[in-house]
Amino acid sequence: MKIAILPGDGIGTEIVAQALRVLEVLDLRFETETALVGGAAYEAHGHPLPEGTLKLAQAADAILFGAVGDWKYDKLERALRPEQAILGLRKQLGLFANLRPALCYPQLTHASSLKPELVAGLDLLIIRELTGDIYFGQPRGRRTAVDGHFPGAEEAFDTMRYSRPEIERIAHVAFQAARRRHRKVTSVDKANVLETFQFWKDVVTEVHAQYPDVELQHMYVDNAAMQLVKAPKAFDVVVTGNMFGDILSDEAAMLTGSIGMLPSASLDRQNKGLYEPSHGSAPDIAGKDLANPLATILSLAMMLRYSLDQAAAADRIEAAVQAVLAAGLRTADIWSEGTTRIGTRAMGDAVVAALTGKAMTPS
Ligand code: NAD
């Protein structure tokens, strides 16, 4: 099996290098091949997603992605900006399911904006549909209103839509993920107001009939936003559409307090996926050995679990990360009084040491 490695820009290269060291010590004998993406690819080939990179991503069984982007590319035309590489990969590879776990490690509860007792031990998974909904629905645009409150005025409009197969496939992803966890799915909708989400609710309920061992709960999105900050530990798997998922997954991310800890996966129909940290390329700290590589290392664990059928190796990585945190080692973004502050590479060293059973002395 082959893993495509796309480090990208900014801290992308530093954090992916640490994840690769972790992969190496696991000795799983996967083939890896690295390619340029984002700003780095634009500099070398004039495009953020060159043909060769796309071909490699298409041929691979999984993709480990760092991050792309830099403020210096902000003036480029939109199609050539580094961030277009991600959109291109999602589209070309049919990555329709975005999985974002929000896990609050007991040692990091202070980093959350919520009270420690609300988040200690938090472990929820948000599954966001990624290729449909109001973000992609046609028609959309600007025009002169012919009706509504102000006929004759300039107006803008978008189209919210979901087809049955789109809802069915994301519902299957959610129920199957729940089977690997605590067997509870919360489907988030706005069925009380939107036709699209009444349909969503109906189809999710139908698919649920195939998963009698999984509990299904429906929740309106406004209530879900409230419950996420009131009692986040009541959730196991949350499944929702593209726009609600966009908002709720960022809200859930903040429950854990640090973006440097959050992995993510985007999957296609065959569970082939692109795995990346939830954060960006952090140009402000790039090249300074300050970035937290744990989100990328945990993305590698997700890859092993969801795409490469190596759940035991994934468990080992997650346990090693726990051990490093328990030993009091922290990068700057998660540092607090009484813990030891270390850099990107030393954090990689520590995870490798935890995996190989060596002492975790930062280098
Ligand atoms: P960002 O996530 O890169 O950074 C936000 C803040 O979090 C910064 O202060 C940064 O230093 C910090 N941070 C991020 N990751 C960290 C880590 N691993 N360890 C420690 N601190 C970390 O978001 P931004 O600053 O809004 O965007 C910077 C660039 O990244 C932009 O060009 C943006 O378009 C791009 N971006 C890319 C992706 C992606 O590749 N998937 C996602 C978001 C943003």
Distance 63 CA to ligand 1 centre (A): 19
pLDDT at 361: 56
Residue 208 scores a pLDDT above 90: yes
Per DSSP, the chain holds a count of helices (H) and strands (E) of 12, 14
Residue 358 scores a pLDDT above 80: no
Closest residue by CA, ligand 1 atom 1: 280
pLDDT at 362: 52
Closest residue by CA, ligand 1 atom 20: 291
Task: Show the tokens assigned to 118.
Answer: 């609300």
Nearest of 196, 191, 179, 265 to residue 224 by alpha carbon: 191
Residue 354 scores a pLDDT above 50: yes
Calculate the average pLDDT of the chain: 94
Contact residues for 13 (Cβ-Cβ < 8 A; gap 6+): 7, 66
Closest residue by CA, ligand 1 atom 37: 280
Please report the domains of the chain, with CATH numbers, ordered by start residue. 1-96+268-363 (3.40.718.10), 100-132+159-261 (3.40.718.10)
Q: What would the mean pLDDT of 328-343 be, rounded to a whole number?
A: 93
pLDDT digits (tens, 9 = 90+) for 209-246: 999 999 999 999 999 999 999 999 999 999 999 999 99
**Can you tell me the distance from the alpha carbon of 286 to that of 14, in angstroms, rounded to the nearest whole number?**
8
Q: How far apart are the first and last CA of the chain?
A: 33
Q: Please tell me if the CB atom of residue 352 comes closer than 6 angstroms to any atom of ligand 1.
A: no
Distance 16 CA to ligand 1 centre (A): 14
pLDDT digits (tens, 9 = 90+) for 74-116: 999 989 999 999 989 998 999 999 999 999 988 888 888 899 9
Q: Give the DSSP per-residue string, 53-98.
A: HHHHHHHSSEEEEEE---GGGTTS-GGGSTTHHHHHHHHHHT--EE
Residue 44 scores a pLDDT above 90: yes
The phi and psi torsions of 284 (rounded to 5 degrees) equal -65, -25
Residue 363 scores a pLDDT above 50: no
CB-based contact 309:27 (threshold 8 Å): no
pLDDT digits (tens, 9 = 90+) for 140-198: 999 999 999 999 999 999 999 999 999 999 999 999 999 989 999 999 999 999 999 99
**Can you tell me the distance from the alpha carbon of 97 to that of 171, in angstroms, rounded to the nearest whole number?**
10
pLDDT digits (tens, 9 = 90+) for 263-276: 999 999 888 999 99
